[in-house]
Chains A and B, each alone.
Chain A
Amino acid sequence: MKADPKGVMTGTHYLDGDHAACEGALAAGCRYVAGYPITPSTEVVERFAGRIPCVGGIFMQMEDEIASSIAIQGAVWAGAKAMTVTSGPGFSLMMEHIGLAIMTEVPCVFINVQRGGPSTGLPTLPAQSDMMQARWGSHGDYEVIALCPNSPQECFDLMITAFNMSERFRTPVMVMMDECVGHMTERVVIPKAEEIEIVPRKYTKKTPAEYKAYLPNDNLVPEMAEMGKGYNFHITGLTHDEKGYPAMNEESQKKLVSRLINKIQNYKKEIILIEKDGLDNADVAVLSYGITSRVAEKAIIDAKAKGIKVGKARLKTVWPFADEFILELSKKVKAIVVPELNAGQVVREVERAAKGNCEVISVPHLGGGVHRPEVILDAIVKGAQGGKR
Chain B
Amino acid sequence: MENVKHPLSKYLREDRMPHMWCPGCGIGTAMNAFMHALEKSGLEKNDIAVVSGIGCTGRVAGYVDLDSFHTTHGRAIPFAEGLKATKPDTKVIVISGDGDLMSIGGNHFIHAGRKNMDLTVICVNNLNYAMTGGQVSATTPVRSITATAPHGSFTTPFSLPFLAEASGAVYVARWTVFHIRELQKAMLEAINKKGFSFVEVISPCPTLYERRNKMGDGLARMKFYKENSIVKNGADTKETNIEINKPFVVGKFIDIEGKPTYLESMNKYYDETFQCQLGYKTYKGTRYSCNISDGGVSEGCMDD
Contacts and interface: CB of A to CB of B under 8 A. Distances in A.
Interface residues of B, number: 57
B81 interface: yes
B107 interface: yes
A4 B82 contact: no
Contacts of B286: 31-32, 56-58, 79-80
Interface string A73-108: 111111111100000000000001100100000000
B147 interface: no
B78 A67 contact: yes
A54 B296 CA distance: 9
B301 A1 contact: yes
Contacts of B49: 227-228
A306 interface: no
B81 A231 contact: no
B295 A56 contact: yes
Contacts of A32: 82, 85-86, 286
Nearest to B45: A232
Contacts of B85: 32, 58, 60, 71, 74-75, 78
Interface in A205-250: 226-238, 245-246
A82 B61 CA distance: 23
B290 A1 contact: yes
B289 A31 contact: yes
Contact of A234 (B61, B298, B304): B61
Interface stretch (A11-19, A129-137, A195-203, A336-344): A195-203
A74 B67 contact: no
A36 B62 CA distance: 31
Contacts of A79: 86-87, 286-288
Interface string A137-159: 00000000000000000000000
A81 B285 CA distance: 12
Contacts of B42: none
B243 interface: no
B289 A71 contact: no
Nearest to B278: A54
Given A63-B107, A71-B78, A236 B70 contact: yes
A200 B303 CA distance: 9
A227 B50 CA distance: 12
Contacts of A203: 302
Given A32-B85, A63-B111, A56 B80 contact: no
A70 B290 contact: no
B46 A245 contact: no
A231 B66 CA distance: 8
Interface of A: 1-7, 29, 31-32, 34, 53-58, 60, 62-64, 66-68, 70-82, 96-97, 100, 193-194, 198, 200-201, 203, 226-238, 245-246
11 contacts: A1-B304, A2-B291, A4-B290, A32-B82, A53-B283, A55-B279, A56-B283, A56-B286, A75-B83, A78-B90, A230-B46
Closest CB pairs A-B (n = 7):
A74-B82, A71-B82, A78-B86, A74-B83, A67-B78, A236-B70, A78-B87
Given A67-B77, A79-B86, A203-B302, 4 more contacts: A6-B289, A75-B82, A100-B72, A226-B302
